[in-house]
């Protein structure tokens, strides 16, 4: 796969992350693999948020009303996403409300026009 090919199966949120990062940075093959995982996690977060929107924050249960389990899962997915993006040293998507990375790309740096 070349750096410009979007991996199969990515939804809009994951594709947006993929495209945004690759429009700014040149990535090595192992970094593209990390970016693909981050994009898939980004899609999972979007799907969980949609489920939360559809169901509401509280759910009825046999023991009374309880917090929707998607809330905790979103938090877990955000942590995984933040860790992957931190290894790439790229800023997290604003809509994920994650702390910004230092923005330092290290050896690879931003793309240069050729």
Q: What is the pLDDT of residue 103?
A: 46
Mean pLDDT to the nearest integer, 106-112: 52
24-79 pLDDT, tens digit per residue, is 999 999 999 999 999 999 999 999 999 999 999 999 999 999 999 999 999 999 99
Q: What is the pLDDT of residue 57?
A: 96
What gap in Å lies between CA 20 and CA 98, rounded to an integer? 16
Displacement of CA 45 from its chain's centroid (Å):
7
What gap in Å lies between CA 17 and CA 12, rounded to an integer? 9
**pTM for the whole structure:** 0.77
More confident residue, 110 or 73: 73
Q: Please enumerate in sequence order all residues whose Cβ is within 8 A of that of 101, keeping only pairs 6 or more positions apart, or say none.
A: 85, 86, 89, 90, 91, 92
Rg from Cα positions in the chain = 16
Model confidence at 97, pLDDT cuts 50, 70, 90, reads low
Structural tokens at position 71: 């809330």
Mean pLDDT to the nearest integer, 3-10: 85
């Amino acid at each position: 796969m070349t750096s410009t090919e979007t991996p199969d199966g990515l939804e809009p949120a994951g594709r947006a992350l993929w495209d945004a990062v690759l429009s700014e940075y040149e990535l090595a093959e192992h970094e593209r693999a990390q970016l693909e995982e981050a994009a898939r996690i980004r899609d999972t977060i979007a799907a969980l948020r949609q489920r939360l929107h559809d169901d509401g924050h509280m759910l009825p249960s046999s023991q009374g009303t309880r917090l929707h389990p998607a809330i905790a899962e979103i938090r877990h997915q955000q942590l995984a996403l933040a860790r992957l993006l931190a290894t790439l040293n790229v800023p997290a998507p604003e809509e994920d409300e994650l702390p910004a990375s230092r923005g330092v790309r290290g050896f690879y740096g931003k793309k240069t026009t050729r």
